[in-house]
Amino acid sequence: MIPSIPQPKFYKGLYSTYIALFFVYLSAPLIVVGVFAFNDSLFPSMPWEGGTLAWFFGNEDPYIGIFNDTKLLESVGVSAFVAFWVTVLSVTVGTCNAFLFERSKFPGKNLLYIVSLSPLVIPGVILGISILVFSNAIANGIEEAIGWDLEFLRPGLFLVIIGQFAFVTTITTLVISARLRKFDVSLEEAALNLGATRRAALWTITIPFLKPALIGAGIVAFLMSFENFNTTLMLVGSDAPLTIAMFDRLKQGSTPVLNALSLLLMVVSGGLALLSVFVQRDSKN
Amino acid sequence: MNKSSSITTGGTFRFGLLLLAMPLLLWLFLLVILPHVDLFLVSMRERISYGKYEFSLINYIEFFAEPLYWNTYVRTAVMSIFATALTLIIGFPVSYYIAKVMRGKGKNVLFLMCLIPFWVSELVRTFGWMILLRESGVISNFLQWAGLADGPVEMLYNDAAIMVGLVYTSMLFMVVPLVSVLDSLDDSLIEAGYDLGGNAFTVTRDIVIPHAMPGIASGCIVVFMLTLGNYLTPNLLGGKDSLWFTEQIYTQFITRFNWESGSAFGFLLLILSSVIAWVGLKLSKQTLSETVG
């Protein structure tokens, strides 16, 4: 059970084997995706036909590598654009929310806090359709009232950004609030005593203290937006973000170019994940 | 949550507070509260002709009258509960190993190894399972090579494949709360249990599991809700017969363009997920802010 209690060798071995098998289960799909990016075959499946880099750099039909697949590259661009705006918006609003919840008192605060947690428990598909229905109602109402057709309220990138922002903001709020809670308010008071204006105290004392949480929340927001599928599926228009484009290809059956793309995604998001872990860890010391 | 305000004082207090609360209020009202109210209103109306609607319960009546719909609904709920239980059973020994058996640096490394797969997009993870399970896939070839199967074995497009994918996708949300709650269990309690004549089974049953209850509850609730709302995994691993309720919502909205009945379905799914989460919270005497916060 625990190291201080002697156990028969057999049980210890059995337990370690189980843990090892668990990690095989965790890593198997990811390893397989990565390995088949180098398979010289038209399908991401067995048998192994020898190594190739064509799925990265290839330029001859049907061996179109990811760096020459304009459709997929475009969708990466669309996703990056969406993720950028979701990150900027959700970190900004999340910071305001953190100050509101940690620093001020007002009636109904607890209720508001619970409502602001709710996007985490609403299934993404439902969040998507509710925003779709509501924005469509507004667009129809405006069109009937004054005759303007507001294109951005119809399915498209604007709605995708809004829909992802709706639930990512809850996460940035939680991350930034947790850091702000640890802040010693007397530091700010000292700055004010020493003649700083409120704005100067905020920008030279509080915001630098929050910086690790702001960066961490930004990375999480970017990744969540980049990888979101459920909400995006319901709000997407003609410009497909990466997850939607990959989903369509997967359904049709695709060449291993998807493996090459997935491998690149794994490297980038794994790197960002480690970065956010280290940024947050440094801030604890 | 309850620190007094040191910055906002005096006459600017009200105005400053309102300014600070503006983004929050806009976000919650425009993107969360009003859309769901509207979703409910749309679900309660019937389309008479172009642009003409009437109050009606027809969408809900249709749901109960058509066996395909509520069978899918019940099937999704049951499969989600099963997936949650399976995730708990598989994840608990692993969490215990990380929290109690491992020491020092190895513990952090193992915990991090548990987390990293979940930073990778769900789509990529599901793609990995497709390559492993399909007829021409890795496992099928391995079985033939090992002489355990005569021909290609199709392991994709059935309920077991959906289950494997759902458990895989949910594992993180079970392991993290379990590790943190088991970490707080004092070793001396386990030692005392053994000193008093307990064995591995009784100590687990009487000491470890009662202590881990809050973590088990929050892990199960989060996993259940994520599974219920999943679209990608059942769709890709289950194929045409996956019959997941989110697929019905998608069909109503996008394929059949029947927003009224799609809204009703969405609302029913929301009710199911809230009711089960609420029951779980009540049973384990927890609050929402403790569970997700």
Token representation of residue B179: 């590790």
- Given an 8 Å threshold on Cβ–Cβ distance, is B38 in contact with A134? yes
- Which residues of B fall within a CB distance of 8 Å from A116? 24, 27-28
- Given an 8 Å threshold on Cβ–Cβ distance, is B28 in contact with A44? no
- Which residues of A fall within a CB distance of 8 Å from B129? 29
Question: B5 — contact with chain A (CB < 8 Å)?
Answer: yes
Query: Is residue B232 in a domain?
Result: yes
- Given an 8 Å threshold on Cβ–Cβ distance, is A93 in contact with B24? yes
- Given an 8 Å threshold on Cβ–Cβ distance, is A5 in contact with B190? yes
Query: Is residue B245 in a domain?
Result: yes
pLDDT tens for chain B, 293 residues long, are 344 444 444 445 577 788 888 888 888 888 888 999 988 988 888 877 776 777 878 888 888 888 888 889 999 999 999 999 999 999 999 998 888 888 778 888 888 888 877 778 888 888 889 888 887 777 877 777 777 777 777 778 888 889 999 999 888 889 988 888 888 888 888 888 888 877 778 888 888 888 888 888 888 888 998 899 889 899 888 877 778 888 888 888 888 888 888 899 998 999 888 888 888 778 777 666 666 54
Strands A63-64 and B45-49: unpaired
Q: Residue B149 — φ and ψ, nearest 5°?
A: -140, 145
Question: B125 — contact with chain A (CB < 8 Å)?
Answer: yes
pLDDT tens for chain A, 285 residues long, are 566 677 778 888 888 899 999 999 888 888 888 888 787 776 666 666 666 776 776 676 766 777 777 788 888 899 999 999 999 999 999 999 998 888 888 888 888 888 888 888 888 899 999 999 999 888 888 888 887 777 777 888 899 999 999 989 999 999 898 888 888 888 888 888 888 888 888 888 888 888 888 988 898 899 889 888 889 998 888 888 988 988 888 888 777 788 888 888 888 888 887 787 777 666 554
Q: Which residue of A has its CA nearest to B194?
A: A5
- Given an 8 Å threshold on Cβ–Cβ distance, is A104 in contact with B39? no
- In tens, the pLDDT along A222-254 reads 988 988 888 999 888 888 898 898 888 888 877
- Given an 8 Å threshold on Cβ–Cβ distance, is A3 in contact with B101? yes
Query: Is residue B227 in a domain?
Result: yes
Token representation of residue A15: 């337990």
Query: Is residue B247 in a domain?
Result: yes
Token representation of residue B237: 């691993």
The domain defined by A71-254 folds into MetI-like fold (1.10.3720)
Chain B nearest CA to A192, separation (Å): 9
CATH number of the domain that residue B264 is part of: 1.10.3720.10
Query: Is residue B26 in a domain?
Result: no
The alpha helices in chain B, defined as continuous H runs, are 12-26, 34-43, 58-65, 67-96, 105-115, 122-133, 138-145, 159-183, 187-195, 200-203, 209-228, 232-238, 245-250, 259-284, 288-292
Residue B218 is part of which domain span?
55-292
- Given an 8 Å threshold on Cβ–Cβ distance, is B134 in contact with A47? no
Interface of B with A in 70-109 (CB under 8 A): 90, 93-94, 97, 100-101, 103
- Given an 8 Å threshold on Cβ–Cβ distance, is A15 in contact with B93? yes
Q: Which residue of B has its CA nearest to A123?
A: B229
For every residue of A272-283, DSSP letters joined together read HHHHHHHHHHHH
Query: Is residue B32 in a domain?
Result: no
The structural domain count of chain B equals 1
Query: Is residue B40 in a domain?
Result: no
Interface of B with A in 158-197 (CB under 8 A): 168, 171, 187, 190-191, 194
Angle separating helix axes B67-96 and B159-183, nearest 10 degrees:
40
Q: Which residue of A has its CA nearest to B152?
A: A46
- Which residues of A fall within a CB distance of 8 Å from B23? 92-93, 96-97
What is the residue-averaged pLDDT of chain A?
A: 84
Chain B nearest CA to A44, separation (Å): 7
- Given an 8 Å threshold on Cβ–Cβ distance, is A36 in contact with B131? yes
- Of B224, B119, B80, B154, give the one whose Cα is nearest residue A270: B119
Question: B7 — contact with chain A (CB < 8 Å)?
Answer: yes
Please name the residues in contact with B279: beta carbons below 8 A apart, sequence gap of 6 or more.
none
The alpha helices in chain A, defined as continuous H runs, are 9-35, 54-57, 70-103, 109-117, 124-146, 157-181, 185-193, 198-201, 207-227, 230-235, 242-252, 257-284
The residue whose two tokens read 């947690």 is A117
pTM score over 0.80: yes
